[in-house]
Every structure is written in C-alpha cells, then in structure tokens.
Amino acid sequence: MWRLLFMIAMLLHGIGHLLFLMNTWGYWKDGSRRAGLFPDVLALSQTGEGIIGLLWLAPLAGFVIGTWGLLNQNAWWSPLALATAILSSVMISSGGVA
C-alpha cells in the first residue's frame, strides 16, 4: 500500500515539473518576475529562457522513469530518484521559480 502511494506521489511530483517549464515559456507571468536558471546573471530574453526552460524536462523524466523502475522493482530506481531530487532542488534554489 505504501509503495503504491509513494509511486503516485513521485509520479505526480514529476508531472508537476511541467509547471516550471510552462512558466519559463511565459504562462502565468505578469511581467514583473523572470523565470529560469540564474535569471539575473544570464539576463536571457524570453526565447532564451524558453530554451533553458527545457531543462525542466530532466527532473520530469527522472521522476517518471524512477516511478516506472519502482513499479517494476528494478534496483536502479532509488539512485535515479535521489539524483533527480537533488537536480530538482538545485534548479529550484538557483532561481527556477523566480
């Protein structure tokens, strides 16, 4: 039961990274805030932010693939999920939602 709940949570968390991707593509913006990695340092245009925003597909794929690995009881799912969680945390803390 707990394994199933964890798989659902991990899958939904991965899919939730679509929100960051869509934000870098200009959805939900009021013009006063910039999205993307290191927004003040890179000073990218909206197009540049959109391209960099594709990086949000990495944690999405990592969590979805990790969920698949857990479902099939593969040994590699845990290191993948941990690496993906670290990547996601770094991306968020570096200004991915600013």
Domain span at 76: 2-96
pLDDT of residue 24: 73
* pLDDT tens digits in sequence order for the chain, 98 residues long: 888 899 899 889 888 888 877 777 766 665 555 554 555 555 666 677 677 778 888 899 999 999 999 999 999 999 999 999 999 888 888 765 44
Q: Specify the pLDDT at position 57.
A: 87
In the prediction, which pLDDT does 14 show?
Answer: 87
What is the pTM for the complete model shown? 0.72
Number of domains in the chain: 1
Q: Which of 74, 71, 52 is nearest to 11 (CA)?
A: 71
